[in-house]
Amino acid sequence: MVSSLTKDTYSVLASHHFAVTSGWLGGLILGLLLLLLVEKEVTRAVVRSLPPTTGRVFDIAAMPLLLTFAVVVIERFRALG
């Protein structure tokens, strides 16, 4: 299953132009990150006594998205130069 998923991902990335793929991927990551941050703020507003562990769960979930978004932005700038 993992091998099939890797091959499918590679074929999709190879069949599309870099600008289209990175733009689509960056938009998807940005949308997920915004959704996660909005969910965190709504949860904090609704539940006044939010345990600290719940807040950290949202922070941990946001880190991979932030790092991936940074990689996409860096690669876009490298492609321009």
Query: Domain-by-domain residue ranges, the chain?
Result: 17-80
Could you report the per-residue pLDDT of 68-81, keeping only the tens digit for each?
888 888 888 888 87
Question: Does residue 39 carry a pLDDT above 80?
Answer: yes
| Contact (Cβ atoms closer than 8 angstroms) between residue 37 and residue 61 | no
Please give the distance of CA 38 from its chain centroid, rounded to a whole number.
Answer: 14
> Residue 1: what pLDDT?
54
Cβ-based neighbours of 72, under 8 Å, separated by 6 or more: 22, 25, 26, 29
The predicted model scores a pTM of 0.54
Q: Say which amino acid occupies 37.
A: L
Q: Average pLDDT of 28-53?
A: 80
Question: Does residue 31 carry a pLDDT above 80?
Answer: yes
In this predicted model, which residue has the larger pLDDT, 70 or 56?
70
| Contact (Cβ atoms closer than 8 angstroms) between residue 33 and residue 65 | yes
Query: From CA 81, how far away is CA 66, in angstroms rounded?
Result: 23
